[in-house]
Structure 1
Amino acid sequence: MAHGGNVIAELTTDHREVDALFTKIEEQPLGNPRRRELADELTAELVRHSVAEEQYLYPAVRAHVEGGEELADKEIGDHAKVEQLLKDLEGLTAEDTNFDNLVAKLKFEVADHVRDEEGRLFPMLTAACTPQMLDELGDKVRRAKQTAPTRPHPSAPSAPPANKLLAPGAGLVDRARDLLSGRSH
C-alpha cells in the first residue's frame, strides 16, 4: 500500500497493512512455519507504528484535542496491552499451543484499538488541526517509523522526550538482531 499524505492517511494505511497481515497468518495452515514469519512481520509493523504514534500523534492529541490527555493515555494503555502480547508471542513457534491463542488475542486488541482511533481520535484530531499540521505530523510519523524498533520493548518509555531519545537506539539494535537472525520485516 502507498504511504504518504497526512498523519491520518499514513496511519490508516498502516492499519490496513496490519489487517492484511492478520489475514495472511490466518490463511496459513495451523503449525506452518510461515505463520511465525508473518507474525514477525506483523510485530515489526505494529511496533514501528506504535512508536511513531507515541512520539508524534499522541502529543498532538494532548496539545490540540479537547480531552486529549485522557484520550492519549487510553491509547497508550492500548499499546501497552498489544506490546505485552507481542512480547509473549515473540519466543513461540507456530507449532506452540499458545501461538494461535495469542495471535487471536492480539487481533482482537488491535482491531478494538483501530476502531477507536479511526472512529473517534482521527476525526477529533482532524477537526482540531489545520491541514498543514496534519501533513507535518504525517512526515514526522514516517521518519519515526524508519528508525523505530522492530521488536517489542514493553518496559521502554512511551512518552516524549525519553521515547524519542531511546527508540532510535533500540531500533538500531533490533535491526542488527534481525539481520543476524535472518528475521525479515
Structure 2
Amino acid sequence: MEPGGDVIVELMADHRELEALFAQIELQPIDHPRRRVLADRLTAELVRHTVAEELHLYPVVRKHVPHGAALADKELADHAGVERMLKDLEDLSVDDPQFNDTIAKLKFEVASHVREEERELFPKLAAALPPEKLDELGYLVRRARETAPTRPHPSLPNITPANRMLLPGAGLVDRVRDLLRTTTG
C-alpha cells in the first residue's frame, strides 16, 4: 500500500487488501500448500491492522466520537474473536477440514467487522475530527503497522496503556521468528 493518507483512507486500503487475500485463498485448490502461505500472510496483515487500530484508532474513538466507548468496545470484542480464530488457524494444515471452515468463518467475521467500521464508525470519526487529526492518525497507524506483531497473541491486552508496552516486543519476536522461518525453510 502507498504511504500517506488519513486514517480512514489507510484503514479502508487495509480492508481492500484483506478482501483480496481472502479471494486469493479461495482461488487455490482446497488442499494446495499455497493456501497455507496465503493464510499466513492474511494472518500477519490482519494482526498488524488490528494492532494499529487498537493502539491509535479506538482510543481516539472513545474520546471524540459520540458513544465512542460502546463503539470501541464492540470493535475490540470483534478483534478478540478474530484473533482467537487466527490462533486456531495457525496450527491447522491445509489438508485439515477445519482449515477451510476456519477460513470461511474468519472471512465472514472480518467482512462483518469491515462493514460496521466503514458504514458506522468511519463516518462518525470523520464528523468528529478535523482533517489534520485524521492525517495524524493515518501516520500513527502506518507507523504502528511497521512494528506490530505478525502473529496472533490472544493473551496480550488489547487496550492501552498495557498494549503500548507489550505489543512492540511481541512484534519484534514475531519478525525474528518470521525471518528464521523464511531462511530455514
Residue identity in the other structure for 2:124: M
Letter in 1 for 2:25: I
When the two structures are superposed, what TM-score results if normalisation uses the length of structure 2?
A: 0.97
Aligned 8 A contact 1:84 1:152 in 2: yes
**Structure 2: which 5+ residue stretches go unaligned?**
none
- Give the equivalent residue in structure 1 for 2:69: 69
1:33-112 to 2 correspondences below 5 Å = 33-112=33-112
Specify the code of the residue in structure 1 equivalent to 2:133. M
Identity of aligned residues (%): 64
Partners of 1:179 and 1:55 lie apart in 2 by 25
Equivalent residues in 2 for 1:1-185, closer than 5 Å: 1-182=1-182
Could you say what the CA RMSD is over the residues aligned between the two structures, in angstroms?
Answer: 0.9
Q: Is the 8 A contact 1:14 1:49 kept in 2?
A: yes
CA distance in 1, matches of 2:63, 2:134: 13
Task: Output the CA distance in 1 between the equivalents of 2:51 and 2:163.
Answer: 8
Inter-partner Cα distance in structure 2 for 1:5 and 1:132: 10
For structure 1, the residue ranges without an aligned partner over 5 or more in a row are none
Q: 2:170 aligns to what SS in structure 1?
A: helix
Q: Which runs of 4+ in 1 moved over 6 A?
A: none
For residue 4 of structure 1, report the CA deviation from its aligned partner.
Answer: 2.0
- Secondary structure of the residue aligned to 1:159 is coil
With the length of structure 1 as denominator, give the TM-score of the two structures: 0.97
- Provide the C-alpha distance between the structure 2 equivalents of 1:155 and 1:168, rounded to a whole number of angstroms: 15
